[in-house]
């Protein structure tokens, strides 16, 4: 689906405000705005499930998410962090192994801008803080 002009300019304004995207050019940000899909989640929804395969990268445009990780079977997933507007996640499964390494769930209503693997690779994945991100 072609992104409408108004939506495109709103996405651009938001993408420019994402600290990690500071070094991306307007041309690249415009391409990201073209390909992203806006996704909506409700409280408790799993956005990512640890152990599932994944092909998508997420930028939070509204709301908060909780990141948890199950280290050993039988145990409750351990809390890792909370992320909010302007934060991103899901890059781990897009480099090498495509298995999700943690759970990400919605805290209240959440809107994410979602980028597919190929676009991520071409437009975003080269950023130092993406390719080198270690937890
Ligand atoms: Br945010 C975040 N913090 C962590 C962390 O401490 N460990 C791991 N493994 N992942 C973390 N994450 C994000 C990261 O972007 O959670 C995502 C789960 O899917 C992960 O990428 P993913 O493995 O594709
Ligand atoms: Ca895959």
Q: What is the mean pLDDT of each run of 10 residues along the chain (135 residues)?
A: 84 97 97 97 98 97 98 91 98 92 98 98 94 87
| pTM of the model as a whole | 0.96
Name the residues around ion ligand 2, CB cutoff 5 A.
55, 98
Helix (H, G, I), strand (E, B) or coil at 94: helix
CA-proximal residue: ligand 1, atom 11 (nearest): 102
- Residue 63 is predicted with a pLDDT of 98
Q: Which two tokens stand for residue 102?
A: 């943690």
Best substitution site from 57, 67, 117, 127 to test ligand 1's pocket, by max atoms within 8 Å of Cβ?
67
- Residue 1 is predicted with a pLDDT of 59
84 Cα–ligand 1 center, Å = 14
Tell me if 134 sits within 8 A of 128, measured CB to CB.
no
User: Which DSSP state fits 21?
Assistant: G
What sign does the CA torsion over 117, 112, 131, 22 have?
positive
Give the number of the atom of ligand 1 that is nearest the alpha carbon of residue 100. 23
CA-proximal residue: ligand 1, atom 21 (nearest): 90
Q: How far apart are CA 105 and CA 42, in angstroms?
A: 9
Tell me if 58 sits within 8 A of 90, measured CB to CB.
yes
């Amino acid at each position: 689906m072609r992104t409408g002009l108004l939506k495109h300019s709103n996405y651009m304004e938001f993408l420019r405000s994402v600290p990690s995207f500071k070094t991306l050019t307007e041309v690249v940000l415009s391409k990201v705005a073209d390909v992203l899909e806006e996704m909506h989640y409700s409280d408790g929804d799993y956005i990512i499930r640890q152990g599932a395969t994944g092909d998508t990268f997420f930028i939070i445009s509204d709301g908060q998410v909780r990141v948890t990780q199950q280290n050993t079977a039988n145990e409750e997933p351990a809390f890792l962090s909370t992320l909010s507007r302007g934060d991103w996640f899901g890059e781990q499964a897009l480099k090498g192994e495509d298995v999700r390494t943690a759970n990400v769930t919605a805290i209240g209503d959440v809107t994410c801008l979602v980028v597919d693997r190929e676009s991520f690779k071409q437009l975003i994945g080269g950023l130092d803080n993406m390719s080198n991100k270690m937890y």
